[in-house]
C-alpha cells in the first residue's frame, strides 16, 4: 500500500524540526514554524511537495 500525502506531510513536519533556517524560505517567503514544514511546503510549494512525495513513495511503498 502506498503512503498517503497526509502521511508524507506529517513526516515532513517531524523532520522540519532539524532543518536550518535557510530551508524555511518556501514560496519566496520565510516560514518560521518548523513544526509545520510539511504543511507549508504542501500549501506554498506544491510542485516541490509532489516531487518529494513521489520519491518518498518509491522508497517506502515496500514497507506497507
Q: Which of 41, 50, 43 is nearest to 16 (CA)?
A: 41
What pLDDT is recorded for position 63? 54
Q: What are the residues whose beta carbons fall under 8 Å from the beta carbon of 19, sequence distance 6 or more?
A: 34, 37
Using CA atoms, how far apart are residues 20 and 54, in angstroms rounded to an integer? 24
* pLDDT values of the chain reduced to their tens digit, one per residue, 64 residues: 789 999 999 999 998 878 777 776 677 677 677 678 899 899 989 999 999 999 999 998 765 4
State pTM to two decimals.
0.78
What pLDDT is recorded for position 30? 72
Amino acid at each position: 500500500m502506498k503512503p498517503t500525502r497526509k502521511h508524507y506531510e506529517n513526516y515532513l513536519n517531524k523532520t522540519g524540526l532539524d532543518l536550518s533556517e535557510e530551508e524555511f524560505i518556501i514560496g519566496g517567503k520565510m516560514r518560521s514554524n518548523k513544526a509545520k514544514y510539511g504543511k507549508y511546503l504542501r500549501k506554498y510549494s506544491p510542485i516541490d511537495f509532489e516531487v518529494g512525495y513521489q520519491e518518498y513513495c518509491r522508497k517506502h511503498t515496500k514497507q506497507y
